[in-house]
């Protein structure tokens, strides 16, 4: 594409973030819910993002539909789940669970979820139950690690901070066989809470546990266990008053040789066992949660196992007896489970859980209207892949850009990614991946060049069935991407194309690097004539021990320039530039910054034979990485002064450069500030000097980088890259300068 006329820089031009399209995955489970009315429920749980990481899930019921809410994960967390939720009103809820090895608490204010800092016991902790009587009065229970095993944990929220309360641990089996757990809690006031769980009485005998809070201290209440039971656990508790509580769970005995449902009732003085039914033919049954709207109206939810599958289970207490209720099951052959239930009245309950599908676990919600249970349509989490990145971009106009890169699917396999910009929004363009491509590095697109909105070429690499990394090229015809056959040097074990330039649909040049089995690295050049890719011999600098080409720019089929780096005879990495005259590639002499210990050119843009800009980085004698720019006047390359952001400890413009004219260029990359955070970087050339331009960074990102840039005019540029909101979580990023 011929260069556009240069446009003078405006003092008011600025970079701004664009919303990119993100590949998504869908999988999740709901563990608990809380309803403040029949038309207002909050359910919480977890779902698996594209990297396989468990992240918090929250959904809201408005009386008609369930919708996913955005629940945050702690920075750097690799496994976060919400196990319980309590709402003191429709606009005030607290959910608890764990993240990594420590407890997690989040608060809903009617608009957003926010993480609440919790204490971090040395042995680790997790919260499994929570009950709130007011926005500033919540009690959560769970477990923490200790030198004697797992012990009970209770924490109280006063509206400002969480504080650990001292709980009781009945001593039974000696460490390390000892466990003591509080799995649920129900509070009728700030001075009246009941928690239920279990503890290890002997090495092979788990028994029920109940503790009560009187506003000052937790004390153990005596709880009965079924005769001959060897494992009995309470999983849920609900109190309609301080003298009326129901706790549910399961019990395993040698007599039945299976789990059966369990319920106990507190009358203000003692806990007593209640008789609960089990579905006919059930191999095992358990109740995981209970909700009482009054002393004579409670509903418990759980699951039972048939001959092969799991099925949802609900039972109702009418003040006299428990009775089974018929619950529907999702259309699946692998099971449905109800983990949480909440009733705002005897005739209005909501139960949540999950069902297994071919795609994995998906959220399940059922509603009780006083007569029948029915399945409600839930919204499966549509979360972006945890890793997605854009590596290159090419714009044929301000309203026509194509960006390429990769993302990781739920199996952590890298797959190609392409997105198109239509002047309003980015949208994903389906891209093929080579048959048999391996898991890592999978398939990656590194660069793209578009000679028109309907003609683009993208290049990169993939891992073939032999385990070698080989070249990859895909072409866009305005409708679909198609894989082309590329070449690889004989004996190469790792070859990648990292730069491409297309003057038309039948004239493209791609560059990169290749390693042989001995680890020797050579530069690679391939050309496309519209029908096939052909190899071109790259020039080899005298004394070079290894070389690579990173970017290429052509004025015509017989006039191209490529840049990169090579190691000289002393082993020092130095800059490299080559020119193509239609017959052969020739090395051009390039300088390196004075005192540099290593230098490389990574990006290139040529508007005429006498106007080329190359950018990259160099290292000074102290090991600091600095920005680097060199210009070619048609005869000689020379280093040009580039600024580094104030306070930067490292900076580079390896994301490339795009010039719409000799006096209008933009280069992008990133820098590390004094606090160690990596931020986006953009610099512009106005014909006299390079200057740092202010670029935005996504809120909360711990790392952001721009990998490619394309300018349709001097003041209309698009840059792409990635940002990381947390460790192991990387999202595609796009910014525009107008």
pLDDT reading at 662 higher than 90: no
At 370, which helix (H) or strand (E)?
none
Third-level CATH fold of 24-377: Neuraminidase (2.120.10)
Q: Determine what percent of the chain is predicted with pLDDT higher than 90.
A: 67
For residues 305 and 287, give the distance between their C-alpha atoms in angstroms, rounded to a whole number: 12
The whole-number average pLDDT for the span 223-231 is 92
ω before 176 within 30° of 0 (cis)? yes
Instruction: Give the span between the Cα atoms of 126 and 178, in whole angstroms.
Output: 17
Could you tell me how far CA 201 lies from the centroid of its own chain? Answer: 42
3: left (phi over 0), alpha (psi -120 to 50) or beta: beta
Average pLDDT, the chain: 89
pLDDT at 600: 97
Between residues 192 and 65, which one has the greater pLDDT?
A: 192
Q: How far apart are the C-alpha atoms of 61 and 281, rounded to whole Å? A: 34
* pLDDT in the model for residue 13: 62
pLDDT at 310: 86
The stretch 457-481 carries a mean pLDDT of: 94
Q: How confident is the model at residue 359 (pLDDT cuts 50, 70, 90)?
A: low
**Cβ burial 187-206 (10 Å sphere, 16+ → b, else e):** bbebebbbbbbbbbbeeeeb
CATH architecture of 384-650: 6 Propeller (2.120)
More confident residue, 265 or 735: 265
- Quick one: pLDDT at residue 174? 59
What's the pLDDT tens digit per position in 138-195?
A: 999 999 988 777 899 999 999 999 999 999 988 775 555 678 999 999 999 999 999 9
d(CA 601, CA 245): 72
Give per-residue pLDDT as tens, 491-550. Answer: 999 999 999 999 999 999 999 999 998 888 999 999 999 999 999 999 999 889 899 999
pLDDT tens, residue by residue, 114-124: 999 999 988 89
Q: Would you say residue 322 has pLDDT above 90?
A: yes
Cα gap 10→402, rounded to integer Å: 25
Angle CA 497–503–505, to nearest 5:
85
* CA dihedral of 643, 646, 652, 653, whole degrees rounded to 10: -60
The pLDDT value recorded for residue 440 is: 63
Q: What pLDDT band is residue 2 in, cutting at 50, 70 and 90?
A: very low
Strands (E) located in 178-257: 180-189, 192-202, 205-213, 218-221, 229-241, 244-253
Task: Note the pLDDT of residue 554.
Answer: 94
Preceding amide of 441 cis, omega within 30:
yes
Taking the CA atoms of 275, 279, 285 and 289 in sequence, report the sign of the dihedral they define: negative
Mean pLDDT in residue range 448-476? 95
Find the Cα–Cα–Cα–Cα dihedral 56, 62, 66, 67, rounded to 10°: -60
Cα–Cα distance measured from residue 213 to residue 670, given in angstroms and rounded to the nearest whole number: 54
**pLDDT at 4 (0 to 100):** 28
Q: What is the mean pLDDT of residues 290-314?
A: 92
Of 645, 644, 638, 653, give the one whose Cα is nearest residue 601. Answer: 653
* Over residues 644-669, mean pLDDT: 93
Residue 7 — pLDDT band, cuts 50, 70, 90? very low
pLDDT in tens, 582-599: 999 999 999 999 999 999
- What's the mean pLDDT in 673-679? 91
Predicted confidence band of residue 364 (pLDDT cuts 50, 70, 90)? confident
Of 38-52, 405-419, 449-463, which has the strongest mean pLDDT?
Answer: 449-463
**Which residue ranges make up each domain of the chain?**
24-377, 384-650
Token reading at 51: 């990297």
- CA distance to 304, 393, 713, per residue, from 656 (Å): 59, 10, 16
């Amino acid at each position: 594409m011929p260069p556009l006329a240069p446009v003078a820089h405006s003092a008011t031009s600025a970079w701004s973030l664009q919303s990119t399209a993100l590949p998504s995955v869908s999988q999740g489970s709901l563990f608990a819910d809380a309803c403040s009315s029949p038309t207002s429920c909050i359910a919480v749980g977890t779902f698996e993002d594209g990297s396989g990481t468990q992240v918090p899930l929250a959904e809201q019921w408005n009386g008609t539909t369930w919708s996913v809410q955005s629940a945050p994960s702690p920075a750097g967390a690799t496994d976060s789940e919400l196990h319980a939720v309590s709402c003191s009103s429709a606009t005030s809820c607290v959910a608890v669970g764990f993240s990594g090895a420590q407890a997690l608490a989040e608060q809903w204010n009617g608009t957003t979820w926010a993480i609440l800092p919790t204490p971090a016991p040395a042995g680790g902790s997790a919260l499994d139950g929570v009950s709130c009587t007011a926005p500033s009065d919540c009690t959560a229970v769970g477990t923490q690690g200790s030198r004697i095993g797992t012990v009970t944990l209770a924490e109280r929220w006063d509206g400002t901070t969480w504080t650990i309360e001292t709980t009781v641990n009945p001593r039974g089996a000696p460490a390390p066989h000892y466990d003591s757990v509080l799995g649920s809690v129900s509070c009728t006031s700030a001075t009246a809470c009941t928690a239920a769980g279990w503890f290890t009485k002997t090495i092979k005998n788990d028994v029920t546990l109940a503790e009560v809070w009187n506003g000052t201290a937790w004390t153990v209440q005596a709880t009965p266990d079924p005769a001959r039971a060897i494992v009995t656990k309470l999983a849920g508790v609900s109190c309609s008053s301080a003298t009326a509580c129901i706790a549910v769970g399961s019990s395993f005995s040698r007599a039945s040789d299976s789990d059966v449902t369990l319920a106990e009732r507190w009358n203000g003085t003692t806990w007593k066992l209640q008789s609960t039914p089990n579905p006919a033919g059930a191999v095992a049954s358990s109740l995981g949660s209970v909700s009482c709207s009054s002393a004579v109206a409670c509903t418990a939810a759980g699951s039972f196992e048939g001959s092969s599958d799991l099925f949802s289970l609900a039972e109702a207490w009418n003040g006299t007896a428990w009775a089974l209720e018929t619950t529907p099951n999702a259309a699946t052959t692998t099971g449905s489970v109800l983990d949480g239930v909440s009733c705002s009245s005897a005739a209005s309950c909501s139960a949540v859980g999950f069902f297994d599908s071919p795609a994995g676990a998906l959220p399940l919600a059922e509603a009780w209207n006083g007569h029948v249970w029915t399945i409600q349509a839930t919204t499966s989490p549509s979360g972006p892949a945890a890793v997605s990145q854009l590596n290159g971009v090419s714009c044929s106009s301000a309203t026509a850009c194509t960006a390429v890169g990769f993302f990781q699917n739920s199996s952590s396999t890298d797959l190609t990614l392409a997105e198109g910009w239509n002047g309003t929004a980015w949208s994903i363009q389906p891209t093929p991946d080579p048959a048999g491509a391996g898991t890592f590095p999978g398939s990656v697109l590194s660069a793209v060049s578009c000679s028109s909105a309907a003609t683009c070429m993208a290049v990169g690499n993939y891992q073939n069935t032999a385990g070698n990394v080989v070249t990859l090229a895909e072409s866009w015809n305005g409708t679909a991407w198609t894989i082309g056959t590329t070449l690889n040097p004989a004996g190469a074990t790792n070859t990648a194309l990292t730069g491409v330039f297309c003057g038309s649909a039948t004239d493209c040049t791609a560059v990169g690097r290749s390693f042989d089995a001995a680890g020797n690295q050579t530069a690679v050049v391939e050309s496309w004539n519209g029908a096939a890719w052909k190899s071109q011999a790259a020039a080899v600098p005298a004394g070079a021990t290894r070389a690579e080409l990173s970017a290429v720019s052509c004025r015509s089929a017989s006039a191209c320039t490529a840049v990169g780096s090579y190691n000289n005879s002393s082993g020092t990495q130095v800059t490299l530039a080559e020119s193509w005259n239609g017959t052969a590639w020739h090395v051009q002499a390039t300088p390196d910054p004075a005192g540099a210990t290593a230098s490389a050119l990574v990006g290139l843009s040529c508007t005429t034979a006498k106007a080329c800009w190359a950018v990259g980085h160099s290292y000074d004698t102290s090991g600091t990485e600095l920005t680097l720019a060199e210009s070619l006047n048609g005869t000689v390359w020379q280093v040009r002064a580039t600024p580094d952001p104030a306070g930067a400890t490292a900076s580079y413009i390896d994301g490339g450069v795009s010039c719409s004219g000799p006096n209008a260029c933009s280069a992008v990359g990133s820098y590390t500030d004094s606090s160690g955070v990596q931020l986006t970087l953009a610099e512009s050339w106005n014909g006299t000097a390079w200057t740092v331009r202010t670029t935005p960074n996504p809120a909360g990102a711990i790392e952001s980088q721009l990998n490619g840039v394309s300018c349709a005019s001097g003041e209309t540029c698009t840059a792409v890259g990635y940002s990381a909101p947390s460790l192991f979580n990387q999202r595609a990023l796009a910014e525009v300068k107008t």
